[in-house]
């Protein structure tokens, strides 16, 4: 039997081709492993308001809702999971770290992966692995980089950047725990099959 690939969706309301919260609901109904509410251009107050509604949309479904960047907002909303750029993780006081069951970090090198693990991260995103419009002009790091990161840490690693159905299995074969997607989730219009086709 083929194995279902673990998927983490990342939000970006600017990529939506339909109502943002309708898209979030479609994603949540498809039951990915997690949903990272990124929306990093928003100031904290606006982000908190949006994140609260996203959490409400996701609540009926078995999908972990992970907030991003704003740890104080996450604490006010009672979120158990937060994802941080590495510099924010490294500067986060231990008391705040202990307030979250799940603490993710974005890394772009083996050295950063080790730093994040030592700083208390519980999972990592590593990228960008394949060419992507989000990193236009920057060469992708490729599966060899992903393999090195996965070998350097005991943490679950999600591959990030240019992930599509046809290259997701290669990320798992390189040692990744799962894959992250932004455009492929936020711009998708046909959700009839959910993520059922994303298998090894």
Read off the DSSP letter of residue 5. Answer: P
Q: Are the CB atoms for 146 and 174 separated by under 8 Å?
A: yes
115 is a domain residue? yes
Q: For residues 13-30, b (16+ Cβ closer than 10 Å) or e, as one string?
A: bebbeeebeebbbbbbeb
Q: Are the CB atoms for 39 and 68 separated by under 8 Å?
A: yes
Average pLDDT, the chain: 95
153 is a domain residue? yes
200 is a domain residue? no
55-80: average pLDDT: 97
- Domain membership of residue 19 as a residue range: 7-186
66 is a domain residue? yes
Residue 1 scores a pLDDT above 60: no
What is the domain-level CATH number for residue 157? Answer: 3.20.20.70
65 is a domain residue? yes
23 is a domain residue? yes
Q: What is the pLDDT of residues 118-148, one digit of tens each?
A: 999 999 999 999 987 776 778 889 999 999 9
177-195: average pLDDT: 94
pLDDT for residue 55 = 98
pLDDT for residue 138 = 81
Q: What is the pLDDT of residues 81-113, one digit of tens each?
A: 999 999 999 999 999 999 999 999 999 999 999
28 is a domain residue? yes
How many domains in the chain?
A: 1
1 is a domain residue? no
């Amino acid at each position: 039997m083929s194995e279902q690939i673990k998927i983490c969706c990342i939000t970006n309301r600017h990529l939506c081709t339909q109502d943002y919260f309708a898209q979030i609901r479609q994603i949540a109904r498809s039951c990915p492993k997690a949903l990272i509410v990124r929306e990093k251009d928003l100031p904290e107050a606006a982000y908190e308001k949006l994140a609260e509604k996203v959490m409400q949309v996701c609540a009926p479904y078995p999908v972990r809702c992970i907030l991003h960047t704003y740890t104080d907002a996450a604490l006010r909303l009672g979120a158990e999971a937060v994802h941080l750029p590495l510099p924010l993780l490294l500067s986060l006081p231990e008391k705040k770290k202990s307030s979250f069951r799940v603490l993710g970090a974005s890394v772009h090198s083996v050295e950063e992966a080790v730093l994040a693990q030592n700083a208390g991260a519980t999972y990592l995103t590593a990228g960008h692995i394949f060419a992507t419009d989000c990193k236009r002009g920057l060469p992708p790091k490729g599966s060899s980089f992903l393999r090195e990161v996965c070998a350097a840490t005991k943490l679950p690693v999600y591959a990030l950047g240019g992930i599509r159905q046809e290259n997701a299995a290669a990320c798992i074969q390189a040692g990744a725990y799962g894959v992250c997607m932004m455009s492929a989730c936020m711009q998708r219009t046909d959700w009839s099959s959910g993520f059922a086709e994303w298998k090894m």
